[in-house]
A and B are shown apart, each in its own frame.
Chain A
Amino acid sequence: MTTSGLILSLLTSAAMLALGAFAADRPLLAIFPAVLAVTWLAAMRFGWRWFPGFGLATFLILAAVGIWMDLSAIWMLAAGITALLAWDLSNFWFRMLVLEDEDRKQAERSHLLRLGLAGTIGAALGAGPLLIRPHLTFQWGVILAIIAFIGISFLVRWLIHQK
């Protein structure tokens, strides 16, 4: 189930980026996500545990570049979310290797459920601003940056001290 979910989300992510590129008449840009997705799958096969992180960062950067190049923001957001899901499933897949079948099935079921929930909320919160399209001035940008900086810093500090 995890493997299927991982392959599906990876292919979806690559397809979204490719579709965005095709929609903007830049088919050459579709090659990068396709290659990345195939390499990611190969990395899973060879047990390169560092690759999912690299893959996620690359997918998100590609999506951000795509938005900057005026490709469809919805496609790019969808690509970013599915890449995030693929990253999480990759890590989960590695964790599952050490478990026995009984535990694996139960953990898979509940993890996929929770991941789906987190993905849906993320998609909703990400798609909201895209539909409303608020105008971002410099002042609002600075305020938002400060809030984001403080908020994420507190969150990260709290999370990494949970030993």
Chain B
Amino acid sequence: VVEDAPVQRVPFLAALAYLLVLAGLITLRGEIIALAMPVIVMLAFAYLTLPDGARLSIITRILSAERVSIDAPFTVKVRVHNEGEHLENLRLEDQHSPLLRVVEGVDRRQIRLRSGETFEWEYKLAGPRGYHVFPEVKVTVSDALGLVERTAFIPTTGRVFVLPPFKRLRRIYIRPRQTRVYSGNIPARQGGSGVDFFGVREYQPGDSPQWINWLANARHPDHLYSNQYEQERVADIGIILDCRRLTNSIKDRSLLEHSITVAATLIDAFIKEGNRVGLLLYGQYLQWTVPGYGKKQRERLFQALAQASLGDSQIFAKLVYIPTRIFPANSQLVLISALHEEDIDILVRLRLLGYHVLVISPDPIEFEQQALPHTPQVINAARILRLERQLLLQRVQRAGIQAVSWDLNTPLELCLHQALSRPPFHIAALYREFR
């Protein structure tokens, strides 16, 4: 419902009163002037009953949660205390993001508030992913008939993060060139204590008798040899989320929400394994969340994801401006992008710089096809585009970059589990050969 503009009613009534008085004077008919009296009385009524000013010094807003999942309702409680004069017509409108929708109760109230009285009401909101702030409460007081209104915006505090959805993954197999010193789950390319076989070396005092390689000793009876296992440590992982409209937007639909779900799932899995994870949102501008460990970092990253939006920047239209210096040398990079043909060179450059790159690419063809009719033309076009995309992904893989294409019809956790829960085929084959 469109709000009325009450202030326009006063000039309107005044114009009518003028007109009647003028008509009475022109025709010299007092009865016509008498007709203006009720109008003038109404204006005078507004003048006399309009409060001098509202002093609503205490306005508090309490949110039942500061972080919720998508479309999960949360309660907003607003409390108002009147420290001024009696307010006959008081309208309170809680200002919140238009993306949030009221699921229970109302976000505006029209009340009468006596001096010293406190009023409290609550309602429930739910909404899409995002960072939503509650900047102020709109307070409107009016005269007894609602002809004149005084409006004020009283600042308040309140914010809510609607976090992106994510799936639980058991393990993601990555193998960066360099790891950190703390123990974790990622193969460190160094011999020591671990699970996976790494090599054989001469026995050294302190080696566990269980590590002794009896086959090697049988061949060389003069020396003792013991097995080495690959150390497992935590790694630096930089996640790059492609927020460019160029790669995400297909007509009026966006692939970004799917990419964000992938990012949230990976963040959860990597942080759970104790890794140091940072996040770069590449779109309208560069939004970098510095790497860190633990639950607090997970929260920071999720909050950054909650604020992610599509970007139209001309500068960041290509991935060429990914600031490589912010990622530790030889660390693991994960790019989540639908991929564009021009992005291949940048990925190759990242690989040449020593980063171990993993690309997870939600399938844009499947996404677009979902919204199109299943005509033979569409099916043929989709086949051609799929071939092109397959070639694109093959080019990426040939550069030594691990690439996973996510068909949106497949559950994300299944896709990632199949692709990332065990070493890539070439690494697994090397292990077998080595043993």
Contacts and interface: CB of A to CB of B under 8 A. Distances in A.
A98 B1 contact: yes
Contacts of B88: 110
A126 to B, nearest CB: 4
Interface stretch (B19-27, B74-82, B179-187, B192-200): B19-27
Contacts of A141: 25, 28
A107 B110 contact: yes
B34 A98 contact: no
Contacts of A156: 10-11, 14, 43
B29 interface: yes
Of A57, A64, A104, chain B has the most CB atoms within 10 Å of the CB of A64
B232 interface: no
Interface stretch (A4-12, A22-30, A34-42, A127-135): A127-135
**Interface of chain B, main secondary structure:** helix
B35 A63 contact: yes
Nearest to B44: A155
A77 B35 contact: yes
Contacts of A95: 4, 110, 146
A73 B32 CA distance: 8
Contact of A73 (B25, B31, B41, B110): B31
A53 B45 contact: no
Interface stretch (B147-155, B330-338, B386-394): B147-155
B38 A159 contact: no
Interface residues of B, number: 59
Contacts of A110: 88, 112
Contact of B35 (A80, A88, A148): A80
Interface of A: 49, 53, 56-57, 60, 63-64, 67-68, 73, 76-77, 80-81, 84, 88, 91-92, 94-95, 97-100, 103-104, 106-107, 110-111, 114-115, 117-119, 121-123, 125-130, 133-134, 136, 138, 141-142, 144-145, 148-149, 152, 155-156, 158-160, 162-163
16 contacts: A49-B2, A67-B35, A77-B31, A88-B145, A91-B9, A95-B110, A100-B105, A111-B145, A118-B41, A119-B38, A125-B41, A133-B30, A141-B28, A144-B21, A159-B148, A162-B50
